[in-house]
Amino acid sequence: MRLSGLWSFGVLLFLTAACSERQPAPPAGPAPDAKRVDAATVGRVSGKVVFEGTAPQNTPIKMASDPVCLRDNSNGVPLETIKVSGGGLENVFVYVKDGLGNYYFDTPAEPATLDQKGCRYVPHVFGLRVGQPLEIINSDPTLHNVHAVPEVNQEFNLGQAIQGMKNRKTFTAREVMVPFKCDVHGWMSAYAGVLDHPYFAVTADGGRFEITAVPPGTYVVEAWHEKLGVRTQSVTIGDKESKDLNFTFNVQ
């Protein structure tokens, strides 16, 4: 009986430790020396992410396994792996990776949104803040499940069987990037950049991006793409200064 009790206690300790390891710490409050951004001095970083060479063809999606998905995409639709428009690469997550020091930013109360529409995740790539709500919506009249598989944050896997269903989740730690998948529809994927500051953008309109209200300083800016990897550059922003920053990707 005593050995059984000890064994049970040991299992309990093990499970408690394992759960603790899987639970990231909640977002920390401001440090004692934290400072706010002076809106009178902020600048801007903008530019374009260029794709060099001939873009490969994205694989056509086969949706015959779900009649609803097939009906909504009767003309066929490709994956969004490498999306090039006007020579620019879209769905690139561009963000300030380093250099912000001890600035402190309020967490937005307004949720970011991840929708399931036409049996695709919309948007395919997006950003949100640590602690900011993420509202997950099923706009399709079919079963979806939303499976987030982060390495730092807590994994979750939730089903949405009814059109119009909504769930809210939050991430508690910085992580670039968090992949999403649907275990019902294997072609569905999305990626979220979770940051503790507001300085990020996703390229669109021919690979263009803009990051506004950046305080003066020297920063490392990184451009992330799901297939082509990352590119980094350093940029210095003076008071009220705007800088252009361009990145080039290609298929190695």
Report which of residues 38 and 75 the model is more confident about: 38
Q: Which CATH number fits domain 106-196: 2.60.40.420, 3.50.50.60, 2.40.128.110, 3.90.1300.10?
A: 2.60.40.420
Which of the pair, 5 or 27, is modelled with greater confidence? 27
Tens digits of residue pLDDT in 119-166:
999 999 999 999 999 999 999 999 999 999 999 999 999 999 999 999
Query: Residue 194 and residue 177: Cα distance in Å, rounded?
Result: 7
Question: pLDDT tens digits for 41-57?
Answer: 999 999 999 999 998 98
- Give the torsion sign (CA, 252, 98, 151, 121): negative
Query: Which among 39, 19, 27 has a CA at the least distance from the CA of 215?
Result: 39
Q: pLDDT tens, 162-179?
A: 999 999 999 999 999 999
- CATH 2.60.40.420 placement within the chain: 106-196
Q: For the residues 53-77, what does the mean pLDDT come to?
A: 88
d(CA 68, CA 74): 10
Does 15 have pLDDT greater than 60?
no
Burial category of 51 from C-beta neighbours within 10 Å (exposed 0-12, middle 13-18, buried 19 and up): buried
Average pLDDT, stretch 79-89? 93
Distance CA 208, CA 247 (A): 10
Helix (H, G, I), strand (E, B) or coil at 10: helix
At 155-165, the pLDDT tens digits run: 999 999 999 99
CATH 2.60.40.1120 domain locations along the chain: 38-98+199-252
Select the CATH number that applies to the domain covering 38-98+199-252 from these four: 2.60.40.1120, 1.10.1270.20, 3.40.50.300, 1.10.3720.10. Answer: 2.60.40.1120
**What's the confidence (pLDDT) of residue 18?**
39
